[in-house]
Amino acid sequence: MKKIGITTTVPIEILIAAGYEVVDLNNIFIMSNKYAGLIEKAERDGFPSSSCAFKKGVYGAAMDNDFKEIVGVTEGDCSNSKALEEVFRMKGIKVYPFAYPSNHKLSDLKNSLDHFMNIFKVSLGEVEQVRIRLNKIRNLVKKIDELTYIDNKATALENHIYQISCSDFNGNDHNFEDELRNKIKEIRSRKTIEKKLRLAYIGTPPMTSDIYDFVEKFNSRIVYNEVQREFAFPRGINYKNIYEQYYDYTYPYDIEFRIQEIKKQIKQRKIDGVINYTQAFCYRQIEHIIIKESLDIPILNVEGDKLNVLDARTKLRIEAFLDMLIDRK
Ligand code: SF4
């Protein structure tokens, strides 16, 4: 099967309909035992040390795994994407462009999706067939989310992993579906997790996934992973076509649209405090100013860089934040 790399969530239905095995390069990077080496490779090839480690890791993962085709998101993704795509092209990789129109108009998104379908020579009917199949799997992932915040049985790390895996369905949607069914059965048989504080994690999915276990040491647990949940399209499942589904996806669009959904989830999930994760050298750090002003709830901003585990200073800050929240409650 032909293999294609993606650097963020894109309309995977179109790629699967075109016969590709889709691989999210972020996931390869984060899971790799050569994790630090992939960043180093990018720096040896000229990426500045003052650039985002995710971008460098994605580049390293693409080179290390010899990808020949990649989808580049030209609008609605990272401000560094364009430069990365140019480097990929220079290295002989074929880059297919896709855009989430920044004006967030349904008609423009429709044009963009139609154009993407034309590039891969697939029809809307073929794409919708794949979408129906994938949405059944997304519905299973939604159950894991409910088992996290309603039943209090799934862990925050499981919540993170299964939702984030929806960007590429771990490269094989059939195997992923089987794994989910078994996991749900196993989670249902567990006792409930009892913690005093309920937290939201918002922003870029963490480089440091030990954050989930760390907060649990302080009578707290994360019951909402904002961006990871968006990757799993929990609302898109109900829409009648791919245009509406990708229109109601908050991550690529304006911050106000994201904040509306965050506020809704904070209320529904009875959240006591928010951890906002940003990545060093990411333009999204500036959005923290707006998020802080817009949410009427205690927020801690945590920054990650190259390390894939929390550093001592960040641990201390999280501990102090959680102590404060427990005292308030
Ligand atoms: S963390 Fe920010 S700079 Fe890094 S890849 Fe993501 S959006 Fe781009």
pLDDT for residue 13: 98
- For the stretch 198-243, pLDDT in tens is 999 999 999 999 999 999 999 999 999 999 999 999 997 789 999 9
Q: Is the CB of 55 under 6 A from ligand 1?
A: yes
Predicted confidence band at 1 (pLDDT cuts at 50, 70, 90)? confident
Are 326 and 274 in contact, with CB atoms under 8 Å apart?
no
Gap from CA of 30 to ligand 1 centroid (Å)? 14
* Average pLDDT score over the chain: 95
- CB burial of 308-327 (b: ≥16 within 10 Å; e: otherwise) equals bebeeebbebbeebbeebee
Q: With 80 as the cut, is the pLDDT of residue 151 above it?
A: yes
Separation of 78 CA from ligand 1 center, angstroms? 5
Say what the pTM is.
0.95
Using 50, 70 and 90 to split pLDDT, how confident is the model at 258? very high
What stretches of 91-172 show up as alpha helix (H) in DSSP? 106-119, 124-149, 156-164
Would you state the pLDDT for residue 76? 84
- Nearest residue (CA) to ligand 1, atom 3: 282
pLDDT band at 46 (very low <50, low <70, confident <90, very high): very high
Which tens digit of pLDDT belongs to each residue from 109-129?
999 999 999 999 999 999 999
Count of alpha carbons within 13 angstroms of residue 87, beta-carbon side: 16
Predicted local distance difference test score (pLDDT) of residue 80: 87
> pLDDT tens digits for 69-112?
999 998 888 888 889 999 999 999 999 999 999 999 999 999 99
Cα(210)–Cα(308) distance, rounded to whole angstroms? 8
Least confident of 123-132, 188-197, 249-258: 249-258
What phi and psi values does residue 210 have, to the nearest 5 degrees? -70, -10
Please, which pLDDT band fits residue 309 given cuts at 50, 70 and 90?
A: very high
Does the structure show a pLDDT above 90 at 187? yes
DSSP 40-82: HHHHHTT--TTS-HHHHHHHHHHHHTT--EEEEEEESS-TTHH
For residue 308 and ligand 1, the question of a CB distance below 6 A is answered with: no
User: If you search the block for the tokens 């749900």, which residue do you land on?
Assistant: 184
Query: Of all helices (H) and strands (E), which one includes residue 203?
Result: strand 197-203
Q: Is 54 in the pocket of ligand 1 (CB under 6 A)?
A: yes
What interhelical angle do 284-294 and 255-268 show, nearest 10? 50
CA of 8 from ligand 1 middle (Å) equals 10
Q: Is the CB of 284 under 6 A from ligand 1?
A: yes
For ligand 1, atom 6, the nearest C-alpha belongs to 78
Mean pLDDT along residues 281-290: 90
Average pLDDT over residues 311-318: 97
pLDDT confidence of residue 158: 98
Task: Pick the closest to residue 265 from 145, 140, 104 (CA basis).
Answer: 145
